[in-house]
């Protein structure tokens, strides 16, 4: 993935691979569409840091951590 000009199809494919490995249950879980939009906006606006509080299984956190990796920034997940 080229972070200077993100390829939308490639980003969606990569995020789908991440999200489908994390099970969804009654307690939560972000759909692929939400994780894609969050990651795309992070790439589009050149995110510097990302913090998520309450990551549960990480269905939204891990796609954002992937976007952070592409941007060479930090992603922090906080959970008990």
Is 40 among the domain residues?
Answer: yes
Helices (H), the chain: 8-19, 32-44, 61-71
Is 61 among the domain residues?
Answer: yes
User: In the prediction, which pLDDT does 4 show?
Assistant: 52
User: In the prediction, which pLDDT does 25 show?
Assistant: 82
For the CA atoms of 40, 44, 48, 53, the dihedral, rounded to the nearest 10 degrees, stands at: -30
Is 41 among the domain residues?
Answer: yes
Domain span including residue 73: 8-78
Residue 59 tokens, joined:
């269905």
Is 15 among the domain residues?
Answer: yes
What pLDDT, in 10s, does the model give residues 33-80? 999 999 999 999 999 999 999 998 999 999 999 999 999 999 999 998
Is 3 among the domain residues?
Answer: no
Residue 6 pLDDT level (bands cut at 50, 70, 90): low
User: In the prediction, which pLDDT does 1 show?
Assistant: 54
* Number of domains the chain is built from: 1
User: In the prediction, which pLDDT does 29 show?
Assistant: 80
Is 43 among the domain residues?
Answer: yes
């Amino acid at each position: 993935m080229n972070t200077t000009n993100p390829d939308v199809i490639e980003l969606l494919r990569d995020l789908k691979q991440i999200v489908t490995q994390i099970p969804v249950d009654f307690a939560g879980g972000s759909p692929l569409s939400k994780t894609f939009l969050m990651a795309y906006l992070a790439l589009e606006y050149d995110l510097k840091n990302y913090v998520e509080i309450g990551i549960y299984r990480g269905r939204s956190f891990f796609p954002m951590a992937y976007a952070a990796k592409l941007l060479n920034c930090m992603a922090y997940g906080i959970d008990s």
